[in-house]
Structure 1
Amino acid sequence: MRAVDIIIKKRDKGVLTREEIDFFVEGFTRGDIPDYQAAAFAMAVMLNGMNAEETTYLTLAMARSGEVLDLTGVVDFVVDKHSTGGVGDKTTLVVEPAVATCGLPVGKMSGRGLGFTGGTLDKLESIPGYRTDLSTEEFIQQLKEIGLVLTGQSKDLSPADGKLYALRDVTGTVPSIPLIASSVMSKKIAGGAHAIVLDVKVGLGAFMETLESARELSRLMVDIGRLSGRKVVALLSDMNQPLGQAVGNALELKEAIDTLHGGGPEDFREHCLVVASHMLKVGGKAASLEEARQMVERVIAEGKAWEKFRQLVAAQGGDVSYVDHPEKLPAAPVVYPVLAQHSGYLAQVHARMVGETAVVLGAGRSKKEDPIDHGVGIIVHVKVGDRVEKGQPLFTVHARTEADARMAEARLLDALTWSEHSVSPLPLFYGVIE
């Protein structure tokens, strides 16, 4: 078997066998197949696609390229959640402690932000001492002891995905739906998840900008789950405008803390309740979504989900005083209000433009090696459909300098589209695929 023959077969729209895909992934992982052939393979997949079986073979081959955690002897059942990335999406910080408190263990390996989307690890690293580099042994031990882990991906898990993603990033093949699906699912399977709830973002602030492409990706990931013996549910959620109000690491952490105390913005709180309910149902802890929702509402109202979050922070070396007293978290020296220059209805709060403005302020990365400023960011005071009066606060910018704040103001005003007539609010979700 030769790598070039596999590339040619996919170039000519052939269907690859399990043996061919295994051969290619194993050779690429070992270094026997060079980057230029892997790049050609990725482009052939980008242009000609893969069916569900091919994509499942690719997923499992990438999962097996490194360590595959077997958590059956540690806990009975593990559910993971994955978001495809968005602006203001701090859902993991609320959902995972709530679900774990309800008796369903959550072992999650999260990522960092790149581009306009934020990363869970960057938010958690606003807390001094919080470790995101747990070893496999530490991961398993903590899951056994407290039923909750939030750490970075081990280098031993799905190394083929790491190698292939680095190539996709520089060869124009990131948007390939089979490559996205196999990348996401290989890491979840390698991480030991028995069931997975996917939060697939749709819209201006998402990698899937259309409902059609989001549905296609979701169906493929659900098919991979079925074919690989995992339960998978995909939620199609809106990302045309930021989720909640806070965009930026410490600001988002504060909003998550507020939500765990029973507060938080209405849209963000509702989003968390829906995602957590699906996790409990797919994990067998609740017979219905209604029962699951009641469980989540109860553990938040009773303060138990908050206590589980504190337990998580302490277990991973974080200074709990910073979450007990969020005013101690990193803060920007300049707090600058952006006011409405006229009255009207908001027709658009462009999520990507808000996210990109937060990156320019220092809250995110343009390149992987860029440092993060945990204190800067944006508070978004308005939603699509709101009636706004002249002089009303639209945003609050948290910046290092006055010049940065004024730059952000100009960009944020450009992110808004106005209407003289009333505008319908955006839905939180567009559907469920299971």
Structure 2
Amino acid sequence: MSMLPQEIIRRKRDGEALSSAEIRAIVSGIADGSLAEAQVAAFAMATWFSGMSREETVALTLAMRDSGTVLDWRSLGRPVADKHSTGGIGDNVSLMLAPILAACGLAVPMISGRGLGHTGGTLDKLESIAGYQIAPSAERLRRTIAEAGCAIIGQTDDLAPADRRLYAIRDITATVDSVPLITASILSKKLAAGLQSLVLDVKFGSGAFMQSQTEAEGLARTLVDVANGAGLKTTALVTDMNEPLADAVGNAVEVAACLAFLRGEKAGSRLEQVVMALAAENLLVAGLTSGPMESQDKARRALESGAALERFARMVAGLGGPADITAWAKDSLPQAPVIRDVPALVGGKLVACDARGIGLAVIALGGGRLRATDAVDPRVGFSAILPLGSRVEEGTPMARIHAADEAQAEAGISAFQACYRIGPESLAPAPVIVSRLTA
């Protein structure tokens, strides 16, 4: 069997199944640079058109994992777990989930990303905390996980380097939305982080990359099957993203919302449902609990006792942030110079929302990127966002805008108002967690 790159690309172009050895040869060439950019692009496009079987996708995931360092946490003596979200508007779940899981006895080395498209990035949120290091030394990372139980950081240069090159080329060749390539990209980084178990939050709706529940469940099924095929115990929850998940969208405002959540101020919200469901699922999959009720009780105690808040503060301090962010949050987080209410234009019920439009409005304020090189203004965004189903009168604040100047505030208010439909009809609340997929 020829290992010439062009022959492997031709076979995939023609819809043939590739062997593990062929896939390893392609990934090796991507990682060491011996494959030309045109060949990597051709391989991505051939995969986009022809797809991959479960076996091929497992082989691609493992080859990409092995293109760099694989972390080993066995010396910690605790189960190593993580979650991955496919992203959405106001999705700051990682910020609360990691310390809750750490307080329950898991080690959580969470490799996160920056904003992508209309969705915010966990790293951008954390960088709004003065001093927080998203790229700590290996020694500092290990110390923080030993002391806090969790660390949320960026992908280091030596973790799955083949993914970084392949993703950059996918981004400019219209091949981002290939399910096998998405799957291998997500899971190779998680496997390289040395996890023993993983829970996925796959979102659908106006604020997600997958628009329909059917699409989301298809991706979730592939991710769960490939992860388990690669030896990583994994389950998935499919969740609704037709409105912002948190009541804040932006970087510093989402960190402030995280602190409020960990202080117990977001009880009863859709956000709380998702965070606690993912926490319970993680504990169950990691083997720390024996059933759903025990898992929920354990997660609830970690939150209500203040233990999770303490773990978050330890993580922030361990990675270079303020010594006690819980005491000095206002001084630790940048404040926008213009903060104004966003009034409802008419009275009625909030019956529909363009969540993607809210994400784009934050980008227009400077809180996201149009190009990878753009700087992000951590101060801007929206807070105090009312949930769908809320009754408003004309002039009632639907949210609060945080903007760099008055002109941006005016434009942002108009953009936010345009994202909502206000009508007379009652709205049956949509379930936020719609399905659970296991191996």
TM-score band (shorter)?
A: over 0.9
* Matched residue count: 434
C-alpha separation in 2, matches of 1:143 and 1:187: 18
Residue 75 of structure 2 aligns to a residue whose secondary structure is coil
- Which residues of structure 1 form unaligned runs of 5+? none
Deviations 1:225-262 (Å, cap 9, x if unpaired)? Answer: 22111100111111111012111111111111011111
CA pair 105-67 structure 1, distance change in 2 beyond 3 A: same
Q: How much has 1:150 moved relative to structure 2?
A: 1.4
Which of 310, 313, 337 aligns to 1:310? It is 313
The amino acid across from 2:92 in the alignment is K
C-alpha separation in 1, matches of 2:41 and 2:61: 17
Q: Does 1:61 align with 2:63?
A: yes
Q: Decide whether the 8 Å contact of 2:95 with 2:258 is kept in 1.
A: yes
Q: Does 1:270 align with 2:270?
A: no
Deviations 1:135-184 (Å, cap 9, x if unpaired)? Answer: 33432333234321111111100000000000000000011111101100
Q: How does 1:288-307 map to 2 (within 5 A)?
A: 288-307=291-310
Residue 243 of structure 1 aligns to a residue whose secondary structure is coil
C-alpha separation in 2, matches of 1:379 and 1:427: 23
1:196 maps to 198
Which of 258, 263, 266 aligns to 1:261? It is 263
1:16 maps to 18
C-alpha separation in 2, matches of 1:88 and 1:271: 12
Residue 382 of structure 1 aligns to a residue whose secondary structure is coil
C-alpha separation in 1, matches of 2:324 and 2:102: 22
C-alpha separation in 1, matches of 2:177 and 2:152: 27
Q: How much has 1:331 moved relative to structure 2?
A: 0.7
1:407 maps to 411
Q: Does 1:358 align with 2:362?
A: yes
Which of 371, 374, 377 aligns to 1:373? It is 377
C-alpha separation in 1, matches of 2:143 and 2:313: 18
C-alpha separation in 1, matches of 2:112 and 2:270: 23
The amino acid across from 2:382 in the alignment is I
Q: Decide whether the 8 Å contact of 2:251 with 2:367 is kept in 1.
A: yes
Q: How does 1:19-98 map to 2 (within 5 A)?
A: 19-98=21-100
Residue 115 of structure 1 aligns to a residue whose secondary structure is coil
Q: Decide whether the 8 Å contact of 1:235 with 1:433 is kept in 2.
A: yes
Q: How much has 1:221 moved relative to structure 2?
A: 0.9
Q: Decide whether the 8 Å contact of 2:204 with 2:210 is kept in 1.
A: yes
Residue 334 of structure 2 aligns to a residue whose secondary structure is coil
C-alpha separation in 1, matches of 2:325 and 2:228: 42
- Which residues of structure 2 form unaligned runs of 5+? none
The amino acid across from 1:263 in the alignment is E
Percent identical residues:
41
Q: How does 1:207-246 map to 2 (within 5 A)?
A: 207-246=209-248
C-alpha separation in 2, matches of 1:185 and 1:371: 28
C-alpha separation in 2, matches of 1:363 and 1:384: 23
The amino acid across from 2:349 in the alignment is Y
TM-score by length of 2: 0.96
Q: How much has 1:432 moved relative to structure 2?
A: 0.7
Q: Decide whether the 8 Å contact of 2:247 with 2:387 is kept in 1.
A: no
TM-score by length of 1: 0.97
Q: Decide whether the 8 Å contact of 1:238 with 1:430 is kept in 2.
A: yes
Q: How much has 1:185 moved relative to structure 2?
A: 0.2
CA pair 269-344 structure 1, distance change in 2 beyond 3 A: same
Q: Which moved more, 1:156-165 or 1:66-75?
A: 66-75
2:335 maps to 331
C-alpha separation in 2, matches of 1:180 and 1:135: 28
CA pair 423-146 structure 1, distance change in 2 beyond 3 A: closer
Q: Does 1:394 align with 2:398?
A: yes
Q: Does 1:252 align with 2:232?
A: no
Which of 335, 344, 348 aligns to 1:344? It is 348
C-alpha separation in 2, matches of 1:231 and 1:106: 15
Which of 274, 286, 289 aligns to 1:286? It is 289
The amino acid across from 1:120 in the alignment is T
Q: Decide whether the 8 Å contact of 2:337 with 2:402 is kept in 1.
A: yes
2:423 maps to 419
Q: Does 1:383 align with 2:378?
A: no
Deviations 1:172-211 (Å, cap 9, x if unpaired)? Answer: 0011111101100000000101111111111111111111
Q: Decide whether the 8 Å contact of 1:339 with 1:392 is kept in 2.
A: yes
CA-based RMSD: 1.4
Q: How much has 1:321 moved relative to structure 2?
A: 4.3
